[in-house]
Amino acid sequence: MNQTSQPDAVLRGAFREQGSQFARAFALLRESIEQRAFPGAALAVTYHGALIASIGFGHFTYEPTSPEVHADTVFDLASVTKVVVTTAMAMVLHERGLLHLDSKVADVLPEFVSLVPPAQRADRETVTVRMLLTHSSGLPAYVKLFEAAHTRNDLIRSALATPLMPPPGTKAEYSDIGFILLGEILARLADVQLDVFARKEIFGPLSMSHTRFNPPPDWISDIPPTEDDHTFRQRVIQGEVNDENTWVMGGVSGQAGVFAPASDVARFAECMLRGSPILQPATVEFFTRREGTPVGTSRALGWDTPSRPSSSGKHFSIRSFGHLGYTGTSLWIDPDRQLSVTLLTNRTWPDRSSQAIRQVRPLVHDAIVEAL
């Protein structure tokens, strides 16, 4: 994979030895499927500019007659959307001088202050875009806004009025609500919706031809289901975003909603490693550098970095960056090794109960680095 394209002939040549080179990593994924950590998985690994592994494992569900997962199977990325779209959009707008990280949220979204009682406004007036990116705004991790909000506008209004918990800037707490608002800020600054910007400014230039919000109807049967939902939508969730808040927003939000195959995510990872064609290397380095505050945070601007223990395992360098998704997806990138690992699963099938992905991720990443 070079800076602008990746000929199919090069890709085919790169795969000849993947079965033997990554035998341990592949065995771990097959064992995890047998142990019902997830029914299916797709893996893509890039190394020094080449896609050196691209393979699928298992099936769409635990039924052996369900479709097999292939290397190019499209998955619900869940919160990996936060980096593939929202953070990437922030990076682009920052380069263009349209996004200023220390701008106040209320400067772009005045409702963030005006919708709450006067006694709550002082803290909210101090919240910045940087705090949203670093998950230090004081907004909570997750709120079931969908239980009361039935339209996109209603849900955004609820997010705007969500109370802060710790004072802004004092604690890093991962927040879906913060990224819903960040997505709205970016859309207003760019004067275009997230999905339109992503298609024109990210997916198109990077040849991510099978990545999009709201997959078309003819894709749905080829996407693994994420849940048999008996509580909210009362149906199997397949080809529509698993996250309920994003679903109420029409499938497009700053926190979730993107569907993609592992190979497309790998193309995005190579952009982060090489800075072309949509971003300069200096911008990538700036956004992926761990922040100094709040004390003890592992967060960069939109990205996470390895903590101890880390889902990236024990070998990824201190300069590595990545992100996880609730449905069982992950992307980790190591600029020192010029390595990226994309692992996509549907661990939420059938009922979100399995947490085994937490043990699987670091083992797979360790096995890949050790094989190299």
What's the pLDDT tens digit per position in 267-322? 999 999 997 899 999 999 999 999 999 999 999 999 999 998 999 999 999 999 99
**Does the pLDDT value for residue 154 go beyond 50?**
yes
How does pLDDT run across 84-124, given as a tens digit for each residue? 999 999 999 999 999 999 999 999 999 999 999 999 999 99
Average the pLDDT over 247-259 and give the result.
98
Return the residue matching tokens 């709201």.
214
Q: What is the mean pLDDT of residues 121-144?
A: 98
Q: Where are the domains of the chain?
A: 1-372
Beta bridge partners, 46, equal 51, 340
- Phi-psi region for residue 207, left (φ > 0), alpha (ψ -120 to 50) or beta? left
* Among the listed residues 268, 260, 262, 266, the one whose alpha carbon sits nearest the alpha carbon of residue 219: 260
**pLDDT of res. 18:** 80
Give me 246's structure tokens: 């994003």
Q: Which of 63, 48, 128, 67 is nearest to 338 (CA)?
A: 48
Is residue 269 within 8 Å of residue 81, measured between CB atoms? no
The per-residue pLDDT for 2 is 37
Q: What per-residue confidence (pLDDT) applies to 14?
A: 52
**The pLDDT of residue 16 is above 60:** no
Tell me which H or E stretch contains 270: helix 262-274
Determine the pLDDT at residue 308.
Answer: 87
**What percentage of residues in the chain have a pLDDT greater than 90?**
94
For the domain bounded by 1-372, which CATH number is listed? Answer: 3.40.710.10
On whether the pTM is more than 0.75, the answer is yes
| pLDDT averaged over every residue in the chain | 95
> Pick from 177, 347, 157: which is nearest to 254 by CA?
177
Which of 12-16, 32-36, 262-266 has the weakest average pLDDT? Answer: 12-16
